[in-house]
Protein backbone atom coordinates (compact mmCIF):
# COMPACT_ATOMS: atom_id res chain seq x y z
CA UNK A 1 0.00 0.00 0.00
CA UNK A 2 1.31 3.40 -0.98
CA UNK A 3 1.20 6.38 1.34
CA UNK A 4 1.50 9.67 -0.51
CA UNK A 5 3.61 12.34 1.13
CA UNK A 6 1.33 15.17 2.32
CA UNK A 7 1.93 18.25 0.13
CA UNK A 8 2.29 20.51 3.19
CA UNK A 9 5.47 18.73 4.28
CA UNK A 10 7.54 20.35 1.56
CA UNK A 11 6.74 23.95 0.73
CA UNK A 12 8.89 26.87 -0.42
CA UNK A 13 11.05 27.89 2.52
CA UNK A 14 11.36 24.39 4.00
CA UNK A 15 14.91 23.77 5.24
CA UNK A 16 16.29 20.23 5.20
CA UNK A 17 19.07 19.12 7.56
CA UNK A 18 19.26 22.70 8.82
CA UNK A 19 21.04 23.67 5.61
CA UNK A 20 19.20 23.07 2.31
CA UNK A 21 16.40 25.55 1.72
CA UNK A 22 13.69 24.58 -0.76
CA UNK A 23 12.70 27.49 -2.99
CA UNK A 24 10.81 26.49 -6.13
CA UNK A 25 9.33 23.31 -7.57
CA UNK A 26 10.99 22.27 -10.86
CA UNK A 27 9.43 18.98 -11.97
CA UNK A 28 7.49 15.99 -10.66
CA UNK A 29 8.03 12.30 -11.30
CA UNK A 30 6.17 9.29 -9.95
CA UNK A 31 8.55 8.50 -7.10
CA UNK A 32 10.06 11.92 -6.44
CA UNK A 33 9.78 15.66 -6.81
CA UNK A 34 12.67 17.95 -7.70
CA UNK A 35 12.98 21.47 -6.34
CA UNK A 36 15.41 24.30 -6.86
CA UNK A 37 17.01 25.18 -3.55
CA UNK A 38 19.97 26.82 -1.86
CA UNK A 39 22.77 25.38 0.21
CA UNK A 40 22.71 28.10 2.86
CA UNK A 41 26.18 27.21 4.17
CA UNK A 42 27.89 27.54 0.78
CA UNK A 43 25.45 29.98 -0.79
CA UNK A 44 25.06 27.95 -3.98
CA UNK A 45 21.98 26.87 -5.89
CA UNK A 46 21.27 23.13 -5.68
CA UNK A 47 18.71 20.60 -6.82
CA UNK A 48 16.65 19.04 -4.01
CA UNK A 49 15.05 15.68 -4.77
CA UNK A 50 12.56 14.39 -2.24
CA UNK A 51 10.59 11.15 -2.10
CA UNK A 52 6.87 11.60 -2.75
CA UNK A 53 5.57 8.54 -0.95
CA UNK A 54 6.33 5.57 1.24
CA UNK A 55 5.70 2.04 0.05
CA UNK A 56 6.49 -1.39 1.39
CA UNK A 57 8.14 -2.27 -1.92
CA UNK A 58 10.08 0.95 -2.42
CA UNK A 59 12.76 2.40 -0.16
CA UNK A 60 13.49 5.95 -1.25
CA UNK A 61 16.39 6.44 1.13
CA UNK A 62 18.05 3.23 -0.08
CA UNK A 63 17.55 4.31 -3.69
CA UNK A 64 18.94 7.79 -3.05
CA UNK A 65 21.92 6.39 -1.16
CA UNK A 66 22.68 3.97 -3.97
CA UNK A 67 22.55 6.82 -6.50
CA UNK A 68 24.75 8.96 -4.27
CA UNK A 69 27.33 6.18 -4.03
CA UNK A 70 27.42 5.65 -7.80
CA UNK A 71 27.50 9.33 -8.71
CA UNK A 72 30.11 10.26 -6.12
CA UNK A 73 32.62 8.13 -8.02
CA UNK A 74 32.03 9.92 -11.35
CA UNK A 75 33.41 13.37 -12.12
CA UNK A 76 32.35 14.43 -15.61
CA UNK A 77 30.55 17.54 -16.87
CA UNK A 78 28.00 15.35 -18.65
CA UNK A 79 27.03 13.51 -15.46
CA UNK A 80 25.02 15.16 -12.70
CA UNK A 81 27.00 15.91 -9.53
CA UNK A 82 25.68 14.97 -6.10
CA UNK A 83 26.43 16.69 -2.80
CA UNK A 84 24.45 15.05 0.01
CA UNK A 85 21.87 12.42 0.87
CA UNK A 86 19.80 11.85 3.99
CA UNK A 87 16.48 11.99 5.81
CA UNK A 88 14.64 14.82 7.54
CA UNK A 89 11.32 15.17 9.38
CA UNK A 90 10.03 17.13 6.37
CA UNK A 91 11.19 14.52 3.85
CA UNK A 92 11.62 10.81 4.43
CA UNK A 93 14.48 10.92 1.92
CA UNK A 94 16.32 13.66 0.05
CA UNK A 95 19.16 13.83 -2.45
CA UNK A 96 21.03 17.10 -2.98
CA UNK A 97 22.47 17.55 -6.48
CA UNK A 98 23.74 20.23 -8.77
CA UNK A 99 20.86 22.33 -10.06
CA UNK A 100 20.02 21.72 -13.71
CA UNK A 101 17.85 24.15 -15.64
CA UNK A 102 16.29 21.70 -18.11
CA UNK A 103 15.61 22.29 -21.77
CA UNK A 104 13.95 20.03 -24.31
CA UNK A 105 15.77 17.14 -25.92
CA UNK A 106 14.00 13.80 -26.18
CA UNK A 107 11.03 15.11 -28.18
CA UNK A 108 13.15 17.02 -30.65
CA UNK A 109 13.08 15.69 -34.16
CA UNK A 110 14.00 15.74 -36.87
CA UNK A 111 17.43 17.20 -36.13
CA UNK A 112 20.05 18.22 -38.63
CA UNK A 113 22.79 15.56 -38.80
CA UNK A 114 25.48 17.84 -37.39
CA UNK A 115 23.23 18.65 -34.43
CA UNK A 116 22.37 14.99 -33.81
CA UNK A 117 26.01 13.90 -33.98
CA UNK A 118 27.00 16.61 -31.51
CA UNK A 119 24.36 15.35 -29.06
CA UNK A 120 25.51 11.76 -29.59
CA UNK A 121 29.14 12.68 -29.01
CA UNK A 122 28.33 14.52 -25.78
CA UNK A 123 26.07 11.73 -24.51
CA UNK A 124 28.63 9.07 -25.44
CA UNK A 125 31.37 10.97 -23.59
CA UNK A 126 29.17 10.96 -20.48
CA UNK A 127 28.31 7.28 -20.91
CA UNK A 128 32.02 6.49 -21.24
CA UNK A 129 32.65 8.08 -17.83
CA UNK A 130 29.77 6.06 -16.37
CA UNK A 131 30.98 2.81 -17.91
CA UNK A 132 34.59 3.46 -16.87
CA UNK A 133 33.37 3.65 -13.28
CA UNK A 134 31.89 0.15 -13.63
CA UNK A 135 28.26 1.25 -13.96
CA UNK A 136 25.55 0.48 -16.54
CA UNK A 137 23.23 3.47 -16.89
CA UNK A 138 19.98 1.79 -18.11
CA UNK A 139 18.17 5.12 -18.37
CA UNK A 140 19.18 6.76 -21.65
CA UNK A 141 15.56 7.11 -22.76
CA UNK A 142 14.39 9.00 -19.68
CA UNK A 143 17.50 10.19 -17.87
CA UNK A 144 19.17 12.38 -20.48
CA UNK A 145 18.41 16.06 -20.85
CA UNK A 146 19.80 19.22 -22.36
CA UNK A 147 20.85 21.97 -19.98
CA UNK A 148 19.71 25.49 -20.78
CA UNK A 149 23.23 26.20 -22.10
CA UNK A 150 22.85 23.43 -24.68
CA UNK A 151 25.10 20.83 -23.07
CA UNK A 152 23.92 17.26 -22.48
CA UNK A 153 23.75 15.70 -19.02
CA UNK A 154 22.78 12.31 -17.60
CA UNK A 155 20.73 13.26 -14.59
CA UNK A 156 18.71 10.34 -13.24
CA UNK A 157 20.53 7.27 -11.92
CA UNK A 158 17.75 5.43 -10.11
CA UNK A 159 17.98 2.56 -12.63
CA UNK A 160 21.78 2.46 -12.83
CA UNK A 161 23.54 -0.62 -11.52
CA UNK A 162 27.08 -1.83 -11.09
CA UNK A 163 28.25 -4.09 -13.92
CA UNK A 164 27.61 -7.69 -12.95
CA UNK A 165 24.59 -6.88 -10.78
CA UNK A 166 21.90 -9.57 -11.02
CA UNK A 167 19.37 -6.78 -11.60
CA UNK A 168 20.89 -6.15 -15.03
CA UNK A 169 19.95 -9.48 -16.56
CA UNK A 170 21.37 -9.44 -20.09
CA UNK A 171 21.84 -5.68 -20.18
CA UNK A 172 25.32 -4.20 -20.27
CA UNK A 173 27.19 -1.09 -21.37
CA UNK A 174 26.47 -1.83 -25.04
CA UNK A 175 22.76 -1.78 -24.25
CA UNK A 176 23.17 1.88 -23.30
CA UNK A 177 24.70 2.47 -26.74
CA UNK A 178 21.76 0.71 -28.40
CA UNK A 179 19.22 2.86 -26.53
CA UNK A 180 21.07 6.01 -27.52
CA UNK A 181 20.89 4.74 -31.10
CA UNK A 182 17.11 4.50 -30.87
CA UNK A 183 16.97 8.15 -29.87
CA UNK A 184 19.31 9.37 -32.59
CA UNK A 185 17.22 7.49 -35.16
CA UNK A 186 14.18 9.40 -33.91
CA UNK A 187 16.03 12.71 -33.91
CA UNK A 188 17.14 12.21 -37.51
CA UNK A 189 13.87 10.91 -38.94
CA UNK A 190 11.16 12.29 -36.65
CA UNK A 191 9.66 8.80 -36.33
CA UNK A 192 10.01 5.96 -33.89
CA UNK A 193 11.95 2.92 -34.99
CA UNK A 194 10.07 -0.35 -35.36
CA UNK A 195 11.41 -3.28 -33.40
CA UNK A 196 13.20 -5.88 -35.56
CA UNK A 197 11.23 -8.84 -36.88
CA UNK A 198 13.42 -11.93 -36.42
CA UNK A 199 11.83 -13.58 -39.47
CA UNK A 200 12.23 -10.54 -41.73
CA UNK A 201 15.40 -8.83 -40.55
CA UNK A 202 16.30 -5.40 -41.79
CA UNK A 203 18.97 -5.08 -44.43
CA UNK A 204 20.05 -2.06 -42.41
CA UNK A 205 19.08 -2.35 -38.72
CA UNK A 206 18.29 1.31 -38.24
CA UNK A 207 16.28 2.48 -41.24
CA UNK A 208 12.73 1.27 -41.02
CA UNK A 209 11.73 -1.75 -43.11
CA UNK A 210 8.14 -2.89 -42.44
CA UNK A 211 7.31 -6.47 -43.43
CA UNK A 212 6.52 -6.92 -47.10
CA UNK A 213 7.53 -3.38 -48.05
CA UNK A 214 10.62 -1.77 -49.38
CA UNK A 215 12.63 -0.06 -46.69
CA UNK A 216 11.87 3.60 -46.09
CA UNK A 217 15.02 5.49 -47.01
CA UNK A 218 16.55 7.87 -44.51
CA UNK A 219 15.80 11.56 -45.04
CA UNK A 220 17.84 12.87 -47.97
CA UNK A 221 19.81 15.23 -45.72
CA UNK A 222 21.31 12.36 -43.64
CA UNK A 223 24.83 11.62 -44.95
CA UNK A 224 25.98 8.04 -45.37
CA UNK A 225 28.61 8.52 -42.67
CA UNK A 226 25.92 9.42 -40.13
CA UNK A 227 23.79 6.47 -41.24
CA UNK A 228 26.77 4.19 -40.66
CA UNK A 229 27.23 5.49 -37.11
CA UNK A 230 23.57 4.87 -36.31
CA UNK A 231 23.53 1.45 -37.99
CA UNK A 232 26.39 0.29 -35.80
CA UNK A 233 24.75 1.65 -32.64
CA UNK A 234 21.65 -0.37 -33.48
CA UNK A 235 23.34 -3.56 -34.64
CA UNK A 236 21.25 -6.54 -33.59
CA UNK A 237 24.35 -8.54 -32.73
CA UNK A 238 26.07 -7.04 -29.72
CA UNK A 239 29.50 -7.84 -31.15
CA UNK A 240 28.72 -5.62 -34.16
CA UNK A 241 28.02 -2.46 -32.11
CA UNK A 242 30.54 0.19 -31.21
CA UNK A 243 32.83 -1.54 -28.68
CA UNK A 244 32.84 1.39 -26.26
CA UNK A 245 31.05 4.68 -25.73
CA UNK A 246 34.39 6.44 -26.29
CA UNK A 247 34.69 4.86 -29.73
CA UNK A 248 31.15 5.99 -30.51
CA UNK A 249 31.93 9.56 -29.42
CA UNK A 250 34.95 9.67 -31.75
CA UNK A 251 32.91 8.25 -34.62
CA UNK A 252 30.10 10.77 -34.12
CA UNK A 253 32.56 13.65 -34.21
CA UNK A 254 34.19 12.41 -37.42
CA UNK A 255 30.98 11.34 -39.20
CA UNK A 256 30.58 14.69 -40.94
CA UNK A 257 34.27 15.36 -41.53
Chain segment 116-160, per-residue pLDDT in tens: 999 999 999 999 999 999 999 999 988 998 888 889 999 999 999
| Boundaries of domain holding 165 | 102-254
Which H or E run contains 170?
Answer: none
> Do residues 92 and 119 both lie within one domain?
no
Which H or E run contains 186?
Answer: helix 173-189
In the prediction, which pLDDT does 222 show? 86
Residue 11 CA to residue 14 CA, distance in Å, equals 6
Preceding amide of 110 cis, omega within 30: yes
> Do residues 165 and 107 both lie within one domain?
yes
Instruction: Characterize the bridge pairing of strands 15-16 and 20-28.
Output: antiparallel
> Do residues 239 and 151 both lie within one domain?
yes
In the prediction, which pLDDT does 89 show? 86
> Do residues 90 and 128 both lie within one domain?
no
Chain segment 154-170, per-residue pLDDT in tens: 999 999 999 999 989 88
> Do residues 167 and 230 both lie within one domain?
yes
> Do residues 172 and 201 both lie within one domain?
yes
In the prediction, which pLDDT does 126 show? 98
In the prediction, which pLDDT does 244 show? 98
> Do residues 232 and 135 both lie within one domain?
yes
Residue 181 CA to residue 212 CA, distance in Å, equals 24
> Do residues 138 and 218 both lie within one domain?
yes
In the prediction, which pLDDT does 92 show? 79
In the prediction, which pLDDT does 218 show? 64
> Do residues 123 and 161 both lie within one domain?
yes
In the prediction, which pLDDT does 106 show? 61
CA dihedral 123, 104, 204, 194 (to 10 degrees): 130
DSSP reduced 3-state for 28: strand
In the prediction, which pLDDT does 170 show? 87
In the prediction, which pLDDT does 202 show? 40
What CATH number does residue 72 fall under?
A: 3.30.200.20
User: Rounded mean pLDDT of the chain?
Assistant: 83
In the prediction, which pLDDT does 57 show? 47
> Do residues 88 and 109 both lie within one domain?
no
> Do residues 83 and 39 both lie within one domain?
yes
Strand order in the sheet with 144-147: 102-103, 144-147, 152-154
What CATH number does residue 201 fall under?
A: 1.10.510.10
The residues of the chain scoring below 50 in pLDDT are: 1-8, 56-57, 196-215
- Of the residues 67, 98, 129, which one is the last residue of a structural domain? 98
Q: Give the number of domains in the chain.
A: 2
In the prediction, which pLDDT does 190 show? 77
- Of the residues 75, 98, 121, which one is the last residue of a structural domain? 98
- Of the residues 80, 98, 116, which one is the last residue of a structural domain? 98
> Do residues 159 and 238 both lie within one domain?
yes
Angle 186-189-194 from CA coordinates, rounded to 5°: 60
Amino acid sequence: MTEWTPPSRIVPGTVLAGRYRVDEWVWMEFEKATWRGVDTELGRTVGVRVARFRSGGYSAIDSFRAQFELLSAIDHPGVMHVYAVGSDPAADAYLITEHIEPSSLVREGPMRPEHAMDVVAQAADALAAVHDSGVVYRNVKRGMIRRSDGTIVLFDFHRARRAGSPDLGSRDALTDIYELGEWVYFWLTGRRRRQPDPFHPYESPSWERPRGQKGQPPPPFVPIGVQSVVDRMLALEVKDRWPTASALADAARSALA
